Amino acid sequence: MDFHDFLIFVAPQLVLICSVVFVFIWGAKAAPPAFLQEAEKTDYENPEEETYN
């Protein structure tokens, strides 16, 4: 098997498997993104602003 065959037959599967594994490891180990943390802070920052009828 030469390099051309490797790029056609093996590399796409390796990239797919590595991408899926990376996403699952990242999801298991990483903290939530900063923009989600900021959204949570602003949602509950001023609870007195809400009006109830």
Please, which residues have CB within 8 angstroms of residue 1's CB and are 6 or more apart in sequence? 9
Q: What is the pLDDT of residue 16?
A: 98
Structure tokens at 48: 């007195």
Q: How confident is the model at residue 1 (pLDDT cuts 50, 70, 90)?
A: confident
In this structure, is the dihedral angle defined by the CA atoms of residues 5, 7, 11 and 12, taken in order, positive or negative? negative
List pLDDT tens digits, range 15-52.
999 999 999 998 899 887 777 777 666 555 555 665 55
Is residue 2 scored above 80 in pLDDT? Answer: yes
Average pLDDT on 5-9 reads: 96
Cα separations (Å) of 50 from 15, 27, 32, 53? 49, 34, 27, 10
Amino acid at 47: P
Q: What is the pLDDT of residue 32?
A: 76
